[in-house]
Structures are given as structure tokens and as C-alpha cells.
Amino acid sequence: MSRPNDERRAIRLLLERLAADFADHERDWSLRIDPKVLRGYRRELDDSGAMLASASAAPAQLDRCRSIASEAMVAARLLAGGCEVEHEVETPNGRHVDFRATRAGASLCVHVKRAPQPTLRDAEVSVPAAWRTIETVERGLVVAFSLSRNLRGRALHEALDAAFDFVEQASVGDELVIRDGEDAPRARLRAIAPAPGGRVELVADLSSSFDDHVPRFQATLRKAFSQFMPRAENLIAVCGSSGGVEAFATALLGSHIERWDRRPRAGELVAYGRASDGFWSGQLRNQSRLAVYWPLAAGSGPLLFLRESPGRQGVPRSVELARAIFA
């Protein structure tokens, strides 16, 4: 099955799951959200499912289905968590909050955004078994790998020798390009992040997609920030493919860097941190401290990011609510 058809099927299954949830809980949820809003979601979910069942659905229609699934997924989570939910709440400057959720006196303004299109998809690229031997090196490093042409025999052995030398001493950001006798690139390895497991982790190199998507995610975050409700706890929820998680985290927190001003963790030689190019870097946008990335797939769960607030005593009830719902 082709990749577009895989994605279409995944969104269709998600819409079916959401439609069933809204139908099963209609009586209960209608007590906590305007019944008209609830009926509207049920109608849009049914219509979107029917649209995706048609082979003639256009890309713009698929895009619309993603947006509907994103909002419905977050709404269902809030309602299932026992929140009273208001929809499309106007801010003092005329913008709108997608949902204002309240439970036990705590309130949370939630802004739902779909990941920038075209979505960053999971890699179809498989790493050849011979190159997987690099993962035996005991260094906590994620290395992005791309192969433009298969190597065999002596050329493969020489390339692997160079790759082992590289991963044994590389720092985050370093790159090795392996070339043939005509100086044409044949393989590339990039040290992109620390790995928690203590060994090298080899991943497919999606650098062109990744580098394109980080600024797009930051634009999405800025748009949500412009819609914040003043003097309230705001949470940004971005929904997209599972392949977009790392690009989203980089957009939010900043690029991975080595920190020579910090003591490494036990068993590690280098301390890692984030550069100052993230949406949350430094004192930028300190009104924002809650964000979620949620893959658009049935059975997936949200990944909650909480920004540390130095000097703040205790945990606000709104943050506890966000953890209870999205963590």
C-alpha cells in the first residue's frame, strides 16, 4: 500500500474511533459542553469518514479531515477527563480560544493546531543490516544515516571503518560524508542528539524534511501564542504524524547542543542541552509553559511538555489539570 493510502487509512480509522466515542458518550458529554457543539462534531466526523471512504477525495479534503480529527480528539480527551468545556471562547482582543476546560475550580485554555503541511511522515527508509553494527558502539548518540548508493565488498568495509571512527569521537552537530573514487557522496552520517540508552542509535536521515519543518512548527506555535487568553493558563496542542515529534520538540525547546558549562550525568562524558533558538528559549514568551504533541492515529496518546519556572513555589492547579488530562 502506498504511503498516501496508509495515511488516509490511519486518519479514517481515527475518525471512526472518535465518531464511536462521541456517540457512546453523547448523553454524559452533553451535560458538560453545549449539545449543539457536540452534534456538530458528530456530524463532521461522520461526513469526514464518508469523504475518506471515497477514492476521489482531494488533498484539500484530506487536510480538512486532519483538522476535524485534531479538534475532536482534544475535545474528547477533555470531556472524558471530566471537564466542563466551552468552545470558541472570545479573547479581549477578538481572537478565539478553541476550548476553555474547567474542572474542580482549575481552568485551562486550549489552542488546537494541526501540524504544518505537508506533514512530516515516518521514514520508509530501512537501514541495511551491515550498517546496524555501528549500534554496538557504547556511546549515547543518535546518528542520522542516509545511503545514496549501496556499497559492497571492500568499499563497504572501508566505509564502515570510517563510520566506526566517526561515531567513537563525534560531537552533536558533526557530520561524515563518505565518497567514492569519483568523489561522489555515497553515505552520510550526522550526530544529531544524545541517546538515552548509552549506545549509538542509528536513524534514517530526514534532514531536508526536518530542517524545513522546524521553522514551520515555530510559525504554528507563534500563531497559537497570538491567540492566548490574557491572565489565564494556556496550552498549545499540535496534532500531526508521529514522524513530526522530534521536529516539534526542536521547534519548542531548541536545537541539541553540547554544554561544557554543565557537569555530565553519571556515566557520560558530555553534558547536553538546548540552543537558544527554541520557542521557549530564555525568557521568550514566558506566558507559555504548556504544550502537547499528539500523533493523529487511533490509540495514540499526547506527549505533554512542561516549561520549568525557576523560583516558582508549588504547582498551580491549572498545571495539575493539564497533567491529569494530557500526561
Q: Please report the DSSP string for 64-98 in residue order.
A: HHHHHHHHHHHHHHHHHTT-EEEEEEEPTTS-EEE
How would residue 52 be classed by pLDDT, with cut points 50, 70 and 90? confident
How would residue 277 be classed by pLDDT, with cut points 50, 70 and 90? confident
Contact 140, 196 (CB under 8 A): yes
DSSP-H helix ranges across the chain: 3-24, 26-29, 35-53, 59-80, 129-132, 153-169, 207-225, 245-253, 317-326
Query: What does the pLDDT average to over 2-16?
Result: 80
> How does the average pLDDT of the chain come out, rounded?
86
Specify burial of residue 89 (Cβ count, 10 A radius: 0-12, 13-18, 19+): middle
Residue (of 247, 242, 251) closest to 296 by Cα position: 242
Radius of gyration of the chain (CA): 23
More confident residue, 181 or 273: 181
At 210, phi and psi to the nearest 5? -60, -50
Query: What does the pLDDT average to over 15-21?
Result: 96
Neighbours of 53 (CB within 10 A): 12
The pLDDT of residue 207 is 57
SS3 136: helix
Query: What does the pLDDT average to over 9-25?
Result: 94
More confident residue, 112 or 246: 112
More confident residue, 299 or 268: 299
The pLDDT of residue 311 is 62
More confident residue, 45 or 124: 45
The pLDDT of residue 272 is 46
Query: How far is Cα 78 from Cα 101, in angstroms, rounded to an integer?
Result: 7
The pLDDT of residue 48 is 93
The pLDDT of residue 135 is 94
The pLDDT of residue 96 is 97
- Residue 123 reports pLDDT greater than 50: no
Percentage of the residues of the chain whose pLDDT score is greater than 70: 87
Query: How far is Cα 314 from Cα 317, in angstroms, rounded to an integer?
Result: 9
The pLDDT of residue 206 is 63
Query: What does the pLDDT average to over 279-308?
Result: 92
H and E: helices and strands count for the chain: 9, 12
- Residue 117 reports pLDDT greater than 80: no
The pLDDT of residue 259 is 45
- How many Cα neighbours within 13 Å face the side chain of 216? 18
Query: How far is Cα 279 from Cα 287, in angstroms, rounded to an integer?
Result: 12
SS3 184: coil
Q: What grid cell was written down for 132?
A: 546496524
How would residue 1 be classed by pLDDT, with cut points 50, 70 and 90? very low
- Residue 223 reports pLDDT greater than 60: yes
Percentage of the residues of the chain whose pLDDT score is greater than 90: 55
Query: How far is Cα 217 from Cα 223, in angstroms, rounded to an integer?
Result: 10
Query: How far is Cα 296 from Cα 49, in angstroms, rounded to an integer?
Result: 14
Query: How far is Cα 229 from Cα 316, in angstroms, rounded to an integer?
Result: 17
How would residue 256 be classed by pLDDT, with cut points 50, 70 and 90? low
164-168, 238-242, 269-273, 274-278: which range is least confident on average? 269-273
- Residue 305 reports pLDDT greater than 60: yes
The pLDDT of residue 268 is 46
The pLDDT of residue 270 is 47
Start-to-end CA distance of the chain, whole Å, equals 33
More confident residue, 119 or 169: 169
The pLDDT of residue 102 is 98
